[in-house]
Structure 1
Amino acid sequence: MNTAPLSPSVAIIGAGPAGLFAAEILSARGCKVQVFDRMPSVGRKLLMAGRSGLNLTHSEPLDRFLTRYGKARKWLEPAIRAFPPSALTEWAEGLGQICFSGSSGRVFPTAMKASPLLRAWLQRLTEQGVQIHTRHRFTGWNDTTLLFETAAGQTSVRADATILTMGGASWSRLGSDGRWADFMTGETAPFAPANCGFLPDWPADFATRHEGSVLHSVGLTFGTRQTRGDLTITSRGLEGSALYALSADLRNRITTEGRAVLTLDLRPTLSAEDILKRLLSQRERESQSNRLRKALSLDSPSRELLKHATPKDATPLQLAQTLKALPLPLIGMDALDRAISTAGGIRQDTVDERFMMKSRPGIFVAGEMLDWEAPTGGYLLQGCFSTAYAAANGVLGWLESSSSAIA
């Protein structure tokens, strides 16, 4: 005789995209789902991401898409193939958010913001009976009981299965502070900033004088990898999606050697020969700064970087060559909490193929809690949705097998 409950209870801890998506899948399959989050409202990081346009996923071919996950590709590939970018786009459009693919291949809802999608999503969850409890900080377990701190004191919850989706360790003010790692020692890799800004080894007042300036459409090379895009000078250093795409390799080099030398191409659309011709066409009596500005429309911070990277009496040829390959030493990363995302978290060897923790049967993990990283461009959200899809289906399979075992 099957003594398992007809409607198994599932607790989901963390009300970001991964947690809400797992709740949707499980409640649609008849589970009684409760979602717990430490913040006063849900989806805060999602809403923040949507301020500059909610980049849901990317439309590039799936085989190329998967390469963006680096060393975590083999781990995440089954989940992403099971719930690929096309499925995420279809899901958003099912919530009334028609999507489009931009010139870069990034996929956005036409509304651009996250708030219309989140409102429609929460309405669907309500209709499916999902209960959401805010201001509940998860503090660990007492045997199989989940423990929470609330304004009214400690409370506990029992569930047939649990999915942890508490995020990484960046943007703590939005809810993901990584404190959960304190009671999961031995199962995590240390957190590290990903998609973060970097600290160049340049004059102390350089950032102060040029803060807010943008190095437009520059080429970046580190090792065998190349990217291209805008770099923004901040009070702390450099930021930009082209830099974020190299962040894992740069971070690893800085960690092991104390510095990483990034190579900039300040004029990637011109060859060194074209640059040299333009420089030589200027009047000799012009200052070097004026020649660079008039011949190449080189802005003030670019001219200053070039000045520091070349001899005082640099020839036009030396200037042209350095413009195409300007070395920029990086000596540090921006603070962990300021990173767009983080590496580190629950290690692959501590979970099974269903994303269930090997040390805790019935406890599953998804989203940025897992030790993977990817560049911006839709890959982060896709990873969260796909691992949530895998974990939710893992819960269903585990509940079914547990029920069969009891029977």
Structure 2
Amino acid sequence: MKKSISIIGSGPSALLLAAFLDTTKFEVTIYEKNKTAGRKLLVAGKGGFNLTHSESILDFIERYTPTNFLKDALLSFTNDDFRNWLQSIGIPTYIGSSKRIYPEEGIKPITVINTILNHLKEKGIVFKYEHTFSGWNAENNLIINNAIIPSDYTVFSLGGASWKITGSDGSWLETFQEKGVNTAPFEASNCAFKIDWNPDFITQNEGTPLKNITITCADKKQKGEAVITKFGLEGNAIYALSPQIRAQLKTEEKATIYIDFKPTFTLEQVTSKMVNSNFKNTTQTLKKGLKLSNSEIDLLKIHLSKETYLDSEILSKYIKNFPLEITGLGKLNAAISSVGGIDLNAMDTHFQLDKIPNQYCIGEMVNWDAPTGGYLIQACASSGVYLAKHLNEID
């Protein structure tokens, strides 16, 4: 007789878990509180559906905080494995210029989701929509829509606390706390970071990008682009530094980042161009000799004294290592992702809760962090497949 598996939630970790479970051994039911599945995936697809990244899996693993928690899952189901699986169900992908991986042109996010859902339905996976988990009874059976749902195995894939419109609101956290499961409060990640800009600077430069820069915080460095907003800074060059920035904000109530405006040049090369410039003034040297943008030049002018700005050697050091103070995080609901949720120490190496046998937690509801660029979806997919392989081998 088949055993039952109840999956709570229908994000990428849940869908990939279901895709790899052995339905000759299990009756699998997915319970989703919304009317449709994968709503957060649709939000992720609005800016281009970045499914994963093409870098080597060993480099891939280093993108996560902490790096060791998802290592086995990522090695068990790599970014190449993910692409091959997508291809096998009819979703060919390609590597973009940024080395990110997308569905081939013309394939919309809704098509990707529907293809996955159709694949699961062909496997016999049952979906029950508008079914909301609210807790457990005394025997640790699920309570869904006020009904008791017995299950041999339960897997929670409830998501984090960003983008409440998708149903990913973190409202489940208190329910797990009351059960005695160790949790961490939710915080914004891959979000806007607050900078108290000079009013004159932001009036002139709001909405402009800082391109081809490197930003450093603590021991972490990230190349990319950042956009100047009225609130502060956003973009891939700063999103990847979320763990380091949050850590400094907690201990010091502020964080300092350092921008390298010319990461392809050494300090000596920048200094040589400044000192030996044939342009008539410093601003022309920055604009024409070093190809800095107007926004980058304005940043230097606003934050440095006139004497420093006109001293080529000192200015060169700031071009390579320009400090900016961050004073806060953007709103959690507007963040691309969140950290917090189920504490890593509350589960074993296969994501089983120590307080509730045969019940597991996967995906963004668990307290790990990842930058944008395909790393979030890949980690969710890998953790789902990793757990499926484990459950398939139990009996």
Q: TM-score, normalised by structure 2?
A: 0.90
**Aligned-pair distance for 1:251?**
1.1
What SS class does the counterpart of residue 69 from structure 1 fall into?
coil
Query: For residues 259-298 of structure 1, what are the structure 2 equivalents within 5 Å?
Result: 259-276=254-271, 278-279=273-274, 280-284=277-281, 289=283, 292-298=286-292
- The residue aligned with 1:403 is none
- The residue aligned with 1:88 is 82
The CA deviation string for residues 241-279 of structure 1, in whole angstroms up to 9 with x for no partner, is 121111111110111111111111122234445545555
The answer to which of 113-122 and 272-281 deviates more is 272-281
Contact persistence 2:213–2:223 (CA under 8 A)? yes
- The residue aligned with 2:243 is 248
Residues of 1 paired with 2:393 and 2:382: CA distance?
Answer: 16
**Aligned-pair distance for 1:205?**
5.9
Residues of 1 paired with 2:167 and 2:230: CA distance?
Answer: 25
- The residue aligned with 1:309 is 303
Q: Residues 211 and 27 from structure 1, CA distance in 2 versus in 1: closer, same or farther, beyond 3 angstroms?
A: farther
Give unpaired runs (5+ residues) of structure 2.
Answer: none
- The residue aligned with 1:169 is 161
**1:146 alignment partner AA:** L
Residues of 1 paired with 2:273 and 2:389: CA distance?
Answer: 61
Which residue among 340, 348, 352 is the counterpart of 2:348? Answer: 352
Residues of 1 paired with 2:110 and 2:45: CA distance?
Answer: 8
The answer to which of 106-115 and 376-385 deviates more is 106-115
- The residue aligned with 1:331 is 327
The CA deviation string for residues 272-315 of structure 1, in whole angstroms up to 9 with x for no partner, is 4554555532225xxx5455434444333222210123212332
Which residue among 55, 62, 67 is the counterpart of 1:67? Answer: 62
Residues of 2 paired with 1:40 and 1:234: CA distance?
Answer: 35
What SS class does the counterpart of residue 14 from structure 2 fall into?
helix
- The residue aligned with 2:52 is 57
The answer to which of 165-174 and 95-104 deviates more is 95-104
Which residue among 48, 67, 73 is the counterpart of 1:79? Answer: 73
Give unpaired runs (5+ residues) of structure 1.
Answer: 1-5, 401-407
Which residue among 169, 173, 176 is the counterpart of 1:181? Answer: 173
Residues of 2 paired with 1:36 and 1:207: CA distance?
Answer: 47
Q: TM-score, normalised by structure 1?
A: 0.88
**Aligned-pair distance for 1:380?**
1.2
Contact persistence 1:196–1:239 (CA under 8 A)? yes
The answer to which of 120-129 and 19-28 deviates more is 19-28
**Aligned-pair distance for 1:177?**
0.7
| Percent identity (aligned) | 35
Which residue among 5, 9, 17 is the counterpart of 2:12? Answer: 17
What SS class does the counterpart of residue 160 from structure 2 fall into?
coil
The CA RMSD measured in Å over matched residues stands at 2.2
Residues of 1 paired with 2:211 and 2:302: CA distance?
Answer: 19
- The residue aligned with 1:146 is 142
Q: Residues 373 and 184 from structure 1, CA distance in 2 versus in 1: closer, same or farther, beyond 3 angstroms?
A: same
Q: Does 1:319 align with 2:311?
A: no
The CA deviation string for residues 317-364 of structure 1, in whole angstroms up to 9 with x for no partner, is 333322221111111111122221122211222112221111111211
Q: Does 1:196 align with 2:191?
A: yes
Residues of 1 paired with 2:42 and 2:203: CA distance?
Answer: 31
Q: Does 1:46 align with 2:41?
A: yes
**1:389 alignment partner AA:** V
Residues of 1 paired with 2:351 and 2:268: CA distance?
Answer: 54
Contact persistence 2:23–2:124 (CA under 8 A)? no
The answer to which of 136-145 and 164-173 deviates more is 136-145
